[in-house]
């Protein structure tokens, strides 16, 4: 019976450590999320990156078309 009580205390200690580690990790993640949301303007940056990407893609497609048209008469 004494061994069983000692085993229970050890398991409770491990559970408490797991709980503390989980709370610390969740707090860090929450702080990162709050900072990114308030300071980062994530949605505005996403829109800017999308516009830059699609603008570049459209420019490249137009450039390829014009080069193709230029070379169609030569070949």
pLDDT in tens, 3-47: 555 555 566 667 888 889 999 999 999 998 888 777 767 777 777
List the domain boundaries for the chain.
1-40, 41-75
Q: What pLDDT score was predicted for residue 28?
A: 93
- Does the model's pTM come out above 0.75? no
Instruction: Report the alpha-carbon distance of residue 42 to residue 55 in Å, rounded.
Output: 20
For the chain, the residue count is 75
Among 41, 42, 20, 38, CA closest to 30: 38
């Amino acid at each position: 019976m004494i061994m069983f009580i000692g085993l229970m205390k050890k398991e409770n200690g491990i559970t408490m450590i797991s709980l503390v580690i989980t709370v610390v990790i969740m707090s860090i993640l929450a702080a990162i999320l709050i900072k990114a949301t308030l300071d980062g303007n994530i949605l505005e940056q996403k829109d800017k990156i999308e516009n830059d990407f699609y603008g570049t893609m459209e420019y490249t497609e137009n450039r390829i078309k014009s080069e193709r048209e230029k070379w169609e008469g030569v070949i």
